[in-house]
Amino acid sequence: MHTPLFSGGMVVLLLATGIPAHAQVTGSDGASFNYSYLALDWASYDMPNADNGSSLGLLVSYAFDPNWHVTAGFGRDRDDDFSSDGSFGIGLGYNFEVSDTIDYVISATLIDGEEELPGPVINDYTGIAGKFTARIRPSQVIELAPWIGIPLDNGDTVNSNDWGIDAYYHVGGPLEVHAGTVNKFEEWVFGIRWHF
């Protein structure tokens, strides 16, 4: 099962995993990164031996401490076989600075979702997806974020074994555009991130 919100640029898209700057790429407190933002992502996936389709995800992250942030998000997924999937997640992340241009982030997200299959058949699922992300800023306008899923509690169908890389370009003000890929280019993610 595909969990769009947390598998790619979000979780995608979750939480990717989708992770964050104020009016500049640096945070408002002068730190290298800021973890308060709103993200909207669209993903298209074409996986071997599985369904193809697309998803839309919305994620909010809020830093309540220099090293801690909480996330909440919703994702909606539509497969070519006309099944649909909606998932909601809440998460907690811990970040620590490696250098002025690199942060490591460890996060865990509780995901609750429902898959609607033709028939109609409804499958509910719940699980915990972990994620490790390295946020790298090679310039003031570019951020690269390779990440890997960490299996915690997959429940019935939550997929947390994904890996990928996201790239963000700071357009100006609080706005960034985003592109990413998951699992050997099986999924492509595009979106925007608005920092506050």
Report the alpha-carbon distance of residue 163 to residue 17 in Å, rounded. Answer: 9
Cβ atoms 97, 29 nearer than 8 A: no
CATH of the domain at 49: 2.40.160.20
Cβ atoms 7, 159 nearer than 8 A: yes
Number of domains in the chain: 1
Q: How deeply is 162 buried, as exposed, middle or buried, from its count of CB atoms within 10 A (0-12, 13-18, 19+)?
A: buried
Q: How deeply is 99 buried, as exposed, middle or buried, from its count of CB atoms within 10 A (0-12, 13-18, 19+)?
A: exposed
- SS3 at position 5: helix
Report the alpha-carbon distance of residue 59 to residue 56 in Å, rounded. Answer: 10
pLDDT on residue 23:
28
pLDDT on residue 68:
97
pLDDT on residue 81:
63
pLDDT on residue 5:
40
Report pTM: 0.78
pLDDT on residue 72:
97
pLDDT on residue 47:
58
pLDDT on residue 134:
97
Closest residue by Cα to residue 107 from 132, 74, 139, 82: 132
The domain of 43 spans 4-195
Cβ atoms 80, 53 nearer than 8 A: yes
Which residue has tokens 């890929």? 181
What pLDDT tens digit does each residue of the chain (196 aa) get? 344 344 333 333 333 333 333 323 344 334 469 899 999 999 887 755 556 788 899 999 999 999 999 999 998 877 766 566 788 999 999 999 999 999 999 999 998 887 776 666 667 778 888 999 999 999 999 999 999 988 777 655 555 568 999 999 999 999 999 999 988 778 899 999 999 9
pLDDT on residue 22:
30
Q: Where are the alpha helices (DSSP H) in the chain?
A: 4-7
Report the alpha-carbon distance of residue 158 to residue 176 in Å, rounded. Answer: 28
